[in-house]
Amino acid sequence: MVTNNTVRFSQFNASLNRSSEGQLATDLSTPDNTQAQAVAEIIQLNNPDVLLINEFDYLESNPLQAVELFQQNYLSISQNGATPVEYPYAYIAPSNTGIPSGFDLNNDGTVGGGNDAFGFGFFPGQFGMLLLSKYPIDTPNVRTFQEFLWKDMPNSLLPTISTPGSGTPWYSPEEQEVLRLSSKSHWDVPILIDGETVHVLVSHPTPPVFDGEEDRNGKRNHDEIRFWSDYVTPEIGDYIYDDDGNLGGLAAGSSFVIMGDQNADPFDGDSFDNAILQLLQNPYINTNSIPSSLGGVEQASLQGGANDNHSGNPAFDTADFADGSPGNLRVDYVLPSADLQITNSAVFWPEASDPNFASVGTFPFPSSDHRLVFTDVEVGEINPFVNGVASGDTTQTSTVLWTRSILPGAVTFEYSTDANFTTIVGTETANVTDINVPVKVNIDGLIPNTQYYYRVTDVNGISSDGKFSTAASLGQQTGLKFGVSGDWRGDLAPYPAVSNADEADLKFFLEFGDTIYADYGSPVVLNPDGTEKQQAVTLDEFRAKQAEVYGQRYGLNTLGDIRASTSILATIDDHEVVDNFGGGEDLATANADIQALFGASSGLQNDSPLYENGLQAFQEYNPITDQFYGETGDEVTAGERKLYRFNTYGSDAATFVLDARSFRDPALPDVVDTTDATEVANFLAASFDPNRTMLGEVQLEDLKTDLLEAENNGITWKFIMMPQPVQNFGLAIAADRFEGYAAERTELFQFINDNNIENVVFVTADFHGTVVNNLTYQVEPFAEQIPISAFEIITGSVAFDPPFGPTVGEFLTPEQQAFYNALPVANDADSIIDDKDDFIKSVIDAGLSPLGYDPVGLNNNLAIADGLIDATLLQGDYITTHTYGWTEFDIDPITQRLTVTTYGVEPYNREELEANTEEVINRQPQIVSQFEVNPTLLIAESNLIVGSPEADILIGGIDFDAVNDIVFTGAGTDEVDTPLGGILAGNNRIFTGSNADIIFAADGDRAFGGSGNDELDATDATSYRISGGAGNDTFFLGTDGRALGGEGNDIFNVLEGGGNIIAGGEGADEFWILSDNPNTLNTPNMITDFEIGVDILGIRNQGADFSFDDLTLGGNDIMIGSQTIATLNGVNTSNLTAADFAFA
C-alpha cells in the first residue's frame, strides 16, 4: 500500500568543535574518542532521518574527511548496543567563523583573533555545521547565504548598535559595508523524499552574550533568526540574495523545516527582544507541538540557581548551561512548515535513572551541553520502500523477490495467486542489517504460466505490492510480450521515456546494461569539495549510484513502477564499472592511471577492487540470483560472477542474456584514418584473430549449447540479448563492438547457420538509438558476405544525452552539420533525406557500402540476403536515433508473428529537466517505429483452420488440404489427421487445446496437445515435432522427430523409427525405447531428461526370456549386442538397475 511517510528531522549541537584546525579529523580517525562515542550513541538511539549537527568543524582542505570518519568509526559502529545508523547523503560547506574581517570588530584597539573574525572562531570553519540525511540531497539546488551582508537586510538592527553612553556607531561605516549577517552561515538544503521536496533551513546564530551594553551579539542573533522568518514569508524575503547571486526567498507553498541552535529562549536568557518569537509566532510555521523531556525538568530542579527563577517550562529546555547564569534554556529548534503534520517530537534528555542518561550526563558532559531535539512529520504519500519492490529471474517455477528498506529489521515477502491476498501461497523473511543494501529472497515451487502477486512488509508493518507471471511450460504456445531498454543516467531521472511500460502487461522487462553511469557525475556522489564526483570507486559510491536510478524524483519512479509490475532480467554493459572496461585485460600491462583507477597493478580487471565494487552493487540492486562460475579451467571465468541467463517461455521463445564485458579481451586500437588502406587491413586482420574473445569461451559455449537445445525443442523465437551491437557499422569506433572481435562473431553466426537455427533475433543496446538490420558474416577480411536468417534491433536509450543521432552529428563537416541541423525529426518509412533519421541512415550506409556490408533496415538488403526475413514495416522506420525510449516485443500465440514496437519521447538534457521539470517529466511515449516479422515456416492466415468449441474431427484432404496449414481446434475432445501422401503434404501446425485429443502427424508437422490426456501419433512421419503439454499423454514416434511430454506422466512408444530426440518433461514418464528388431534402428533415439528412480525404460517384443541381463550398459548408451538402441543424455547407464526397466 501507499502511505504518508513519517520523517524524523533532528537538531543536535554536538560540540564536535576543536581548538585547532584539523584536530577533529584526527580525533575521529580512530573509533576510540569517548566524546564522539557518546554523541554517536545519542544519534543511534534517536535514529533521525535528517540530522543537523551544529559545532562540527569545517576543514577547507578536505571538508568530507571528518564527516566520513565520523560515519565510519562511530555512527556505523554500535555504541553501547545501540543500532548503527547510516547516512548516505551529507552536506557541509564553509562557515564565517574564523575568517578574518581585517577590522577591529570588538573595538579593543587591535585587529585579529576570534573576536575580529566575521564569526567568532580561531580558524576558518571552527564551530561549523553538518547536515546528514537518509534521503537524497538535491545538491545542485542548495542555496547558501554565507556572504549575505547584514546591511542589506531592510530595517536591520545593525545601525542601532552604538557605543554605550554615546551616539557613536559601534561599527564604522567601512565595517558596516562588509559585515556579514551570518555568524556561521544560513543554508537552504532541499531534501528529496520520494518525490517530495522538503527544504531544510539550517543555521546557528551567534550567542546573544559575550558582548557589552551595546548588545552587538544579541542584535546580530536577533537578525540571524529574523532571516529565516523573512525567507519563508511570501514577498517579505524578496530582498534576500544567495551566494550565487540569486534573488528572493523560498517559493510560496514549499515545505520546509527550520533547524538549528538558535541560541534564543522565548522567555529566559539574554536574547534581544525575544528574538525566537519571530519564528514561533510566524503563521507559516507549525508550532503545535513543543519537544519536551523528563530529564530537563529533573535537572532544573536538581541544579537550582537561575533555573529557579525561569519563566519557561523546564520540560522544553534543550541545553544545560551554567547554573548561576543563564541556567538551562530552550535554544535548539526543529520547526516544520505549517503544511507538514507533526506526529511526534521530543528532547533527548533522559532522567538520571534511565540507562541512556550516561551519554547525556552532567557537567563535565560526556557528549555536549546541548540535547538532541527531534520532530517527526508526515511528508506526502510515498512508497515506504525507497527503491520500490521487484521480482526477477523468473522461470516456470521460481522467482526472486527484492526490496530495499531504510529501516533495519525484518522484511516479510508474501505471495499469492489472488490480488487481494485472500490466500497466501507462501511467506519468506529477510533481515535488513544495512539500510544501503537491498534484501532478496528466492521463491520456488511455483506453477507455470501463472500470475502471482506479492506483498512486502517492513518492520513497522508498512507494505508495498508487486506482481509477476511465471513462464509457460515447454510445449505450450501462449504468446509472449516483453520489454527491453538500457542506458540511463542518474542525473536524467525520472525517465518519462518508459512511463507507459508498467501498464503494457509485460511478461518481463530486460534492464539492458549501462543501468548506471558510474563514470558520470550526479548529485549522489560528491568530492570532498562538494562537486560531483566523476567516477564512483567505493562500494558505497556504487550503491548510491544504483539507488539513485531506482528512486523517486520529482514525484515519479518510472523504473520502480516497471519493476513492481513485471519480472526483471538484468545484465551489465561497461558503465556499471567504467567506460570500455574489459574484464579479461591484464592490469600489469595497463598504465599507472588505469591501475590506480582499478585499484590494482596486476591481475585481471574482473578481479580488481573497482570491478568487484561495481558488480557487487549491481547484483545487490537487481532482483537476480547471485550466480558464480565454478572451476571452468579458464582463468577469465573461473569463480567469477555469472550473469548469463537461458530462459524459455513455452514454445514461443527462448532468451539468452549475455555479459559482453566481464570476460572480453582488450579492445584493438580503433582505425584513425579510414582512408588508409593499410591501417584498415591491419585492423580487420587483427579482428579476425581466433584467439580473441568478447564473450569468453565458457559463455560462448553455453550460448551455443542452449541455442541448439531451444531449436531442438521446437521453440519458435530465440532472442540473444547482447548489450553490444552485432550488426556491421563499418570502421568507426568498431573496436568496442562485436566487429572488433570478428572471428568470434563469425563463429557464432556460422554456428547458427550450420545448425539451421531459425528465427534468431539479436537484441542489443549501447548506441543510444534504435537501428534494425539483417545480419551477414565473413570467414575472413574482404571475403564475401554470408547471410543468415537473423536480424538485430538496437534498443534504448532510456535517457542518455545526447542520443545517437546528435552524437553522429558532432562528427560531420560544417556543411553537413548545417544541413542536418535544418532537418526536422519526422521519422518515415522512406530513405529520402528529408528528416534527421534518414540523414543518419545515409551516413551509416556510406560507411557500410565500401566494405560490402548490408545497408540499414530489413527492407533494403544485399541481393544474397534478400527474402530471408519476412518483415513488414508498419510505422516509422527501421532507424530512430533522436528519441529516448524502449522497445516492446509481442509474439502472437497462434501465428507466432513477432511485432516489434519502439516507443519514444523527445530527448532532454539535465539543464532542461531542472529548468522545465513539469514539462519534461510529463512527456508521453509515442510509437516511433513498428514492424512485424513472420517466423520461418509461418502459415498464411488464409490457411488457418479453426474448429468449434465442441468435439471436432478434422481429416486432411477432406476438411482441409493439410499442406502448410495451422489447425486450431479449441475446446472439446478432438481428432486431427494429416495425410502422408503427396510431396507437399505436411508442414502443418496443429493446436488442439483442452480435453483428451488425438493427433495423427505427417512429415514436418508441429503438433501441440495442450491440456488433457492426449494421443499423438507420428508413427509414419519424419522431421516432426510433437508436444503433449499438460496431462498424461501417449506418443507413437516415427523417425528423426522431436517429442516433448511436458507436464504429467507420459508414455513414449518407439516403433520402427530412430533418430528421435525425446524429453519427458515433468512427471514420471515411460520411454518404450524398442518395439522391434534392434537392427532396424539406423540411428538410436536420445532421451534428454531421464531421471533414475522416477522414469521407466521399456523394451517390447524381444522374447519371453529377454531381461535386464541381455542389455549392455556403458557411457550414455543402452545396447543390445553391438546395436545402440538409446542414448540417455547426462546419465551414466552403468548406474541403471533392473528396477529402471520394464519388459513386455
Bigger pLDDT: 76 or 1080?
A: 76
Say yes or no to pLDDT of 528 above 80.
no
206 contacts 392 by C-beta, under 8 angstroms: no
At 937 the pLDDT is 65
* Structure confidence at residue 4 as a pLDDT band (50, 70, 90): low
Say yes or no to pLDDT of 414 above 80.
yes
pLDDT in tens, 1119-1140: 999 899 999 988 999 999 999 9
The verdict on whether omega for the bond into residue 208 sits within 30 degrees of 0, i.e. cis, is no
Say yes or no to pLDDT of 3 above 50.
no
Task: Give the mean pLDDT of 922-926.
Answer: 97
566 contacts 513 by C-beta, under 8 angstroms: no
Per DSSP, what are the bridge partners of residue 880?
Answer: 770
DSSP secondary structure code for residue 72 in this structure: I
Alpha-carbon distance 525 to 541, whole Å? Answer: 6
CA distances from 891 to 479, 586, 658, 1042 (A): 5, 43, 22, 23
Task: Out of 169-178, 336-345, 798-807, pick the least confident.
Answer: 336-345
Alpha-carbon distance 1056 to 1040, whole Å? Answer: 11
pLDDT in tens, 942-955: 477 888 888 889 88
pLDDT in tens, 647-662: 999 999 999 999 999 9
DSSP secondary structure code for residue 757 in this structure: -
Over the chain, what is the mean pLDDT? 93
Bigger pLDDT: 252 or 633?
A: 633
Cα-based angle 769, 772, 773 (whole degrees, multiple of 5): 140
CA dihedral 1117, 1121, 1122, 1124 (to 10 degrees): -30
CA dihedral 111, 112, 114, 120 (to 10 degrees): 60
At 537 the pLDDT is 98
Say yes or no to pLDDT of 329 above 90.
yes
935 contacts 956 by C-beta, under 8 angstroms: no
Say yes or no to pLDDT of 984 above 70.
no
Task: Give the mean pLDDT of 668-689.
Answer: 95
At 1007 the pLDDT is 87
At 529 the pLDDT is 57
Percent share of the chain, pLDDT over 70? 98
* Structure confidence at residue 1082 as a pLDDT band (50, 70, 90): confident
At 940 the pLDDT is 47
Task: Give the mean pLDDT of 367-378.
Answer: 95
404: nearest Cα among 88, 191, 138, 644:
88
Number of residues in the chain: 1144
Chain Cα centroid distance, residue 987: 44
The verdict on whether omega for the bond into residue 806 sits within 30 degrees of 0, i.e. cis, is no
Alpha-carbon distance 686 to 348, whole Å? Answer: 70
pLDDT in tens, 693-745: 999 999 999 999 999 999 989 999 999 999 999 999 999 899 999 999 999 99
Alpha-carbon distance 172 to 103, whole Å? Answer: 9
Say yes or no to pLDDT of 2 above 70.
no
pLDDT in tens, 550-563: 987 876 899 999 99
Percent share of the chain, pLDDT over 90? 79
Alpha-carbon distance 738 to 745, whole Å? Answer: 6
CA distances from 857 to 420, 642, 897, 942 (A): 47, 33, 18, 28
- What's the grid cell of residue 902? 519502439
CA distances from 742 to 118, 513, 522, 685, 734 (A): 67, 22, 36, 9, 10
Alpha-helical (H) ranges within 452-577 are 539-549, 558-565
Bridge pairing between strands 1025-1027 and 129-133:
unpaired
* Full strand arrangement of the beta sheet holding 760-764: 645-649, 653-657, 717-721, 760-764, 786-794, 770-777, 879-880
Q: Which helix (H) or strand (E) holds 6?
A: strand 3-16
Task: Give the mean pLDDT of 903-921.
Answer: 92
* Structure confidence at residue 591 as a pLDDT band (50, 70, 90): very high
SS3 193: strand
SS3 75: helix
Cβ burial of 467 (10 Å; 0-12, 13-18, 19+) is: middle
Say yes or no to pLDDT of 981 above 80.
no
Say yes or no to pLDDT of 938 above 50.
no
Task: Give the mean pLDDT of 688-692.
Answer: 97
DSSP secondary structure code for residue 74 in this structure: I
pLDDT in tens, 147-203: 999 999 999 999 999 988 888 999 999 999 999 999 999 999 999 998 889 999 999
Say yes or no to pLDDT of 767 above 90.
yes
SS3 233: coil
Task: Give the mean pLDDT of 1002-1031.
Answer: 87
Task: Give the mean pLDDT of 421-450.
Answer: 96
* Structure confidence at residue 477 as a pLDDT band (50, 70, 90): very high
DSSP secondary structure code for residue 71 in this structure: I
pLDDT in tens, 233-248: 988 999 999 999 999 9
469 contacts 451 by C-beta, under 8 angstroms: yes
